[in-house]
Amino acid sequence: MTMVPIARRMLLTDRRRALLGVAGVAVALVMVLALEGIAAGSTRQISRYIDTSPADVFVSQKGVRSIHMSISVLPADVVDQIAAIPGVAWSEPILLVSDSVRASRVRRPAYVIGYSPGEPGGPPVVVEGTEPGPGEIVIDDRAAAMLGVGIGDQVDVMGRSWSVSGVTTGMTSIVNTIVYVRYEDLGTVLGRPSSASYVLVGTDGGPAEVAADIERATGHTAQTRPSLSAEERSLVRQMSTDLMNVMAVASLVVGLAVIALVLSATVLSRLKDIGIMKALGLGRAGVTRLVLGQALATVAAAFVLAVGLTVGLGAGVARLTPDIDLVIESASLIRAAVGSLVVALAGAALPLLRVWRVDPATVFRSAS
Amino acid sequence: MNEIALAAEDLHKTFGDGDIAVRAVRGVDLTVRRGEVVLIMGPSGSGKTTLLSMLGAMLRPTSGRILVDGIDLAVVPDSRLSRLRATTFGFVFQDFNLLGALSVRENVEFALNLAGVTGRPARLRAEELLTGFGLSRRLEFRPDKLSGGEKQRVALARALANQPPVVLADEPTANLESKTGHEIARLLRAIATDEHRAVVIVSHDARLKDAADRVLWLEDGAFGSFEEMATAPVCGMSVSPVGAPHLQTADGIVSFCSAACRDEYAALRSGRSTVV
């Protein structure tokens, strides 16, 4: 049932206005998509240590279910206790604290991880130099670039100076970076050499079953890698939810204002045409379809443009500021699409009220 | 005798209430048969547009009945009026009122869409009609690229798209130069005669009298006699006495909008006046 595409034709009669409308709504959508993309990218980065770890299970102090914004302290002998549990292939303690890594006047928030070189828990890869010796530190390549340091240079962490022995990669996010020192060094700095923050566990069997066995045997919290990773992301997401919501609502309002203005302008400039159409037999439903069609066409074009712009923005941001990852998740796209639909419907409301009132008899010359 | 296409019975329309009430149409009776052209003339403010709006199902009468093909428009629910306008009436307007966003072909096709005819059948019907009006080379033109006569021919094609029993024309020749005006008058006549439709024209243009079977004079919301028509202001036109066709009567000089109007009036008063 092909009909004359009257909504599209009317919209495109003034191409400049149509383009401005599409661009305005697209900018509002880009704001939402980019912010959510950066948040999603950061969230992924924040769990990078967990995701790249060879451990199948992470053991933490009872009740501690995340790394971010948490402190976990375990007695050192728990490592041997865990190693004796059936299904455990290996267990390795790490220390983990939050601080900053500084060089000259530049400071970067950091997780400081104390591990035993040659054992699990260290950087996934050392791209330059070696694992840390006593008094040495491995830092991420992006952090090294920001701090302007390289192998052999000094950085300050936890109130003392460390010599950079190696460089790893992929461990810097918009939020922080990860630096690695020897387990003993960090224990000494913390004043608790015989404790651990977390115990990393490799398993022979199913990680979930082993984690449950560890909890029963030790009374501590044990989570599989995917579970801890999801928990970590959820925590970070919760922390940014309010800000994201505020920005999303602000963007929605901007989009709403743009679409309402564009549609109102289009409709007001075409009231006579709408009167003609009503006189010719276009009913209330047809008029509604006409206005909604223009609104939906505008936001649909804006949505496509916004996704394209956000992808381009992500590529540009990655090139200019490598510590920011902009990831467009399908959930974010769905939210933006639903938001666009809401904007289209709400933005069309005022123009609709106006066109519903258009008297078809106005097509005749002034009353005589 | 041709069947009745449109009938208005004791039609009234009052705007407002109480002291500010304006009685725009008062007790109009009108019957138009298929194949007939009725021309309604009258001075500005006489209620012509109000009457046309009611006849075209765009305005509800205060009282009275309007019967089109047996359907009483006064009681048809609002939800059905739009559809009724699309299928029952063809409209021709003073300002042509073509949709500027659409091509010539689409303007006619759109009217067909409103009546439920879509796709290829609508396209073919539009092209057939426009070709019949000599516009085959203008199908994809925008209305603003057409001459006044071409625009009105597109409007006529659009009015006939759904083969309506009634065509309502509001000042169809007002914005056209003389030759084109005559052509449109001839086409309206042909629509009635050849296509067996009822045509109602509201106009000040005396040239249309030649195309009409009947001329009705509307004044103060009611039809009057042609004799009344020839009282100042004659034909409802703003006629300047300087250079206008006029007639010397026993009561003085009466000015006319056109020689045809003057001659018609003179014929009625034959023997009692002198053409100057």
**B198-208 pLDDT, tens digit each:** 999 998 887 88
What pLDDT was estimated at residue A39?
Answer: 79
For A175, the 3-state DSSP assignment is coil
Taking CB atoms and an 8 Å limit, are A368 and B52 in contact across chains? Answer: no
A:B CB pairs within 8 Å: 103
Write the CA distances from B243 to B4, B88, B235, B254, B266, integer angstroms. 42, 43, 17, 12, 18
For A120, the 3-state DSSP assignment is coil
**A287 vs B contacts (CB less than 8 Å):** none
CA–CA distance, B13 with A51 (Å, rounded to integer): 80
pLDDT band at B260 (very low <50, low <70, confident <90, very high): low
Q: Is the peptide bond before B61 cis (omega within 30 degrees of 0)?
A: no
Taking CB atoms and an 8 Å limit, are B49 and A283 in contact across chains? Answer: no
Instruction: Mutate one of A2, A4, A8, A276 to test the B interface: name it (highest B CB count within 10 A).
Output: A4
- Distance from the Cα of A20 to chain B's closest Cα (Å) equals 19
- Distance from the Cα of A10 to chain B's closest Cα (Å) equals 6
Below-50 pLDDT ranges, chain A: 366-368
For A63, the 3-state DSSP assignment is coil
Encoded tokens for A351: 């123009």
Taking CB atoms and an 8 Å limit, are A364 and B100 in contact across chains? Answer: no
What average pLDDT does range B151-166 have in this prediction? 94
Can you tell me which residue has the tokens 């010397």? B248
Taking CB atoms and an 8 Å limit, are B114 and A286 in contact across chains? Answer: yes
CA–CA distance, A25 with A251 (Å, rounded to integer): 9
CA–CA distance, A28 with A169 (Å, rounded to integer): 34
CB proximity under 8 Å: B 91-110 to A: 91, 93-95, 97, 99-102, 106, 109-110
What average pLDDT does range B176-197 have in this prediction? 90
A17 touches chain B (CB under 8 A): no
Taking CB atoms and an 8 Å limit, are B85 and A280 in contact across chains? Answer: yes
% of chain B exceeding 70 in pLDDT: 86
Encoded tokens for B45: 């403010």
Total-model pTM: 0.70
Taking CB atoms and an 8 Å limit, are A281 and B85 in contact across chains? Answer: yes
Each residue of A239-283: pLDDT tens digit? Answer: 776 777 787 778 778 877 877 787 787 777 888 889 999 999 999
Q: Which residues make Cβ contacts (< 8 Å) with residue A296, sequence separation at least 6?
A: A341, A344
- Closest chain B residue to A286 measured between Cα atoms? B114
CA–CA distance, B88 with B81 (Å, rounded to integer): 10
Encode burial over A64-75: b for 16+ CB neighbours within 10 A, e otherwise: bbbbbebebebe
A84 touches chain B (CB under 8 A): no
What pLDDT was estimated at residue B142?
Answer: 95
Adjacency order of strands within the sheet including B89-92: B89-92, B166-170, B198-202, B37-41, B214-219, B222-224
Which secondary-structure segment (H or E) carries A178? strand A177-182
CA–CA distance, A299 with A161 (Å, rounded to integer): 55
> Phi and psi of A62, rounded to 5°?
-55, 130
B49 touches chain A (CB under 8 A): yes
What average pLDDT does range B85-107 have in this prediction? 93
What angle separates helix A15-46 from helix A284-320, to the nearest 10 degrees?
50
**B114 vs A contacts (CB less than 8 Å):** 277, 280-282, 286
Taking CB atoms and an 8 Å limit, are A6 and B82 in contact across chains? Answer: no
Nearest Cα to B189, choosing from B201, B178, B179, B180?
B201
> Phi and psi of A297, rounded to 5°?
-60, -40
Secondary structure, 3-state, chain B: CCCEEEEEEEEEEEECCHHHCEEEEEEEEEEEECCCEEEEECCCCCCHHHHHHHHCCCCCCCEEEEEECCEEHHHCCHHHHHHHHHHHEEEECCCCCCCCCCCHHHHHHHHHHHCCCCHHHHHHHHHHHHHHCCCHHHCCCCHHHCCHHHHHHHHHHHHHCCCCCEEEEECCCCCCCHHHHHHHHHHHHHHHHHHCCEEEEECCCHHHHHHCCEEEEEECCEEECHHHHCCCCHHHCCCCCCCCCEEEECCEEEECCCHHHHHHHHHHCCCCCEEC
Secondary structure, 3-state, A251-292: HHHHHHHHHHHHHHHHHHHCHHHHHHHHHHCCCHHHHHHHHH
What pLDDT was estimated at residue A232?
Answer: 86
Taking CB atoms and an 8 Å limit, are A273 and B99 in contact across chains? Answer: yes
**Does position B230 have pLDDT exceeding 60, yes or no?**
no
Task: Name the region of B157 (left: φ>0; alpha: ψ -120 to 50; beta: rest).
Answer: alpha
Which secondary-structure segment (H or E) carries A81? helix A78-83
CA–CA distance, B222 with A54 (Å, rounded to integer): 97
In sign, the C-alpha dihedral spanning B48, A355, A282, B181 is positive
Taking CB atoms and an 8 Å limit, are B85 and A368 in contact across chains? Answer: no
**Does position B1 have pLDDT exceeding 70, yes or no?**
no
Can you tell me which residue has the tokens 């928030």? A109
Write the CA distances from A300 to A237, A305, A333, B173, integer angstroms. 28, 9, 13, 44
Question: In whole numbers, what is the pLDDT of chain B averaged over residues?
Answer: 85
What pLDDT was estimated at residue B241?
Answer: 58
Encode burial over B195-215: b for 16+ CB neighbours within 10 A, e otherwise: ebbbbbbbbbbbbbbebbeeb
**Does position B272 have pLDDT exceeding 50, yes or no?**
no
Answer for the pair A181, A132: CB distance below 8 angstroms, yes or no.
yes
Taking CB atoms and an 8 Å limit, are A364 and B119 in contact across chains? Answer: no
